[in-house]
Amino acid sequence: MIIEVLRKWPVLLMVRSLDYGGCERDASKIAIGLDRELFEPHIAVFFEGGFRTREVESAGVPILGLPVRSFLNSSVIRGARRLHAYFRRHQIQLVHAFDVPLDIFGAPVARFSRVPVVITSQLSFRNMYSARERIALRLTDWLSDRVVVNSRAVGDSLERDTGLSAGKIYLCYNGVNPRDFSPGQGVHPSFLQGASLVVGSVCVMRPEKRMDLLIESFAQIRQIDSGLRLLLVGEGSELPRLMALRSRLGLEDVCHFEPARPDVAAWMRSMDIYVNCSSSESFPNGLLEAMACGCCVIGAKVGGIPELVTHLEDGLVFDSENAGQLAEMLRLAVSSPTLRQTLRHKAVITAHQRFSMQATIQRTEALYQTLLEQRGVVAPPLPAC
């Protein structure tokens, strides 16, 4: 009797950590969701731990720690040696690095180790990085078989600003899992008791997120309804400045800052109106997740946000350079209950049907399989038991 030995492609996804962040979330969800009849997923991280570690380990995905702390000291050499040894030990056939700094580290080591397929990701605009990083990314573009982008806007910028060929760019939108993000019961902290409507956002408090615009715009429209509340969830370098702005505008009683939470969906479900007012975005996970949770969303007209949100159809869009327009969109959402409910309903449909995590995983699998087959890579047989 002939017994057919199952074959799988060992693939390694590389990301900074398994903690908070869009890249971290995407890498872990894709690793967990890959078809195990075709792929044997692994993950490598610079920083071990993080709240996503448990779900990744529970899915049977091995995690390799690479203690690289700087590209300017010996930790990068130790990390490269450990990664090279891992490639050989597990016969890794494909490496997919998720954005800086893993692109810069992973692509050269993978090529040196003769890994057949190397994929990097560009999930934000190049002008967000230093001149040194941009030079390094030009090298990784050359080393990569494909550069994955999560919006047409970023893909177009790579063609226009770096000369990267369209054939090397692969569009794969971020996805959301309806099991995790869908309308339902939110949290009810004491701060929100008696609130008529909750305006909010969830993000890392960095300068480009422009939470100051949201706070200032909220101050302009708060007189519409004394029950309005502003809820901002997240941490980051901008937090002290934002809290000082809240005090200057006299919003201490109506604006609450909540530390970063792993149960993001529950906090989003507490928000009636979700706002992204970033000055730079590719394809924001937070906005997509808020849509999936049934929020009425307002997004800045930057990057890939217009690819996600259609104005007056499943959300509202405003000119990111026009703070007054954000206030007007807030006023419209607060003052028009019928429109607000229509936008909330259609946002869920858009998120769940057009941007599901399953669609993202399937598109990623198609890329992996196509490149592996083009290279003539045959997955090694599983070791005999």
- Residue 293 within any structural domain of the chain: yes
pLDDT score at 384 = 54
Q: 3-state DSSP call for residue 14?
A: strand
pLDDT, the chain, mean: 94
197 and 346 share one domain: yes
Q: Judge contact between 14 and 102, C-beta under 8 A.
A: yes
- Residue 89 within any structural domain of the chain: yes
Query: In this structure, how many other beta carbons lie within 10 angstroms of the beta carbon of residue 38?
Result: 16
201 and 320 share one domain: yes
User: pLDDT band at 378, cuts 50/70/90?
Assistant: confident
Unique residue bearing structure tokens 């449909």: 349
Count of structural domains, the chain: 2
Least confident segment among 112-126, 210-224, 370-384 = 370-384
User: pLDDT band at 382, cuts 50/70/90?
Assistant: low
Mean pLDDT over 296-317 rounds to 98
Distance CA 31, CA 27 (A): 6
257 and 209 share one domain: yes
For residue 104, which amino acid is it?
Answer: I
Total residue count of the chain as it appears in this document: 385
Query: In this structure, how many other beta carbons lie within 10 angstroms of the beta carbon of residue 216?
Result: 18
The three-point CA angle 156-152-163 to 5° equals: 20
160 and 245 share one domain: no
Report whether pLDDT(262) > 90.
no
Distance CA 101, CA 90 (A): 23
333 and 199 share one domain: yes
146 and 239 share one domain: no
User: For position 328, which CATH number holds?
Assistant: 3.40.50.2000
Report whether pLDDT(344) > 70.
yes
Ordered DSSP codes for 257-320: EE---S-HHHHHTT-SEEEE--SS-SS-HHHHHHHHTTPEEEEESSTTHHHH--BTTTBEEE-T
34 and 117 share one domain: yes
Instruction: Return the percentage of the chain with pLDDT > 70, whole number.
Output: 97
- Residue 256 within any structural domain of the chain: yes
Q: Residue 154's closest CA among 199, 110, 124?
A: 124
Report whether pLDDT(4) > 50.
no
Q: 3-state DSSP call for residue 76?
A: helix
- Residue 235 within any structural domain of the chain: yes
Distance CA 351, CA 328 (A): 25
Unique residue bearing structure tokens 């599983």: 382
Give the 3-state secondary structure of 246-275: HHHCCCCCCEEEECCCCCHHHHHCCCCEEE
- Residue 182 within any structural domain of the chain: no
- Residue 25 within any structural domain of the chain: yes
- Residue 59 within any structural domain of the chain: yes
- Residue 130 within any structural domain of the chain: yes
User: pLDDT band at 2, cuts 50/70/90?
Assistant: very low
211 and 320 share one domain: yes
129 and 250 share one domain: no
242 and 347 share one domain: yes
pLDDT one-digit tens code per residue, 221-260: 999 999 999 999 999 999 999 999 999 999 999 999 999 8
pLDDT one-digit tens code per residue, 44-89: 999 999 889 999 999 999 999 999 999 999 999 999 999 999 999 9
The three-point CA angle 298-321-133 to 5° equals: 95
281 and 133 share one domain: no
Mean pLDDT over 376-380 rounds to 79
Q: At what angle do helices 337-349 and 285-292 cross, to 10 degrees?
A: 110
pLDDT score at 380 = 63
Report whether pLDDT(383) > 70.
no
User: pLDDT band at 108, cuts 50/70/90?
Assistant: very high
CA Rg value for the chain: 22
Domain residues for the domain of 210 are: 190-354
pLDDT one-digit tens code per residue, 166-213: 999 999 999 999 999 999 999 989 999 999 999 999 999 999 999 999
141 and 201 share one domain: no
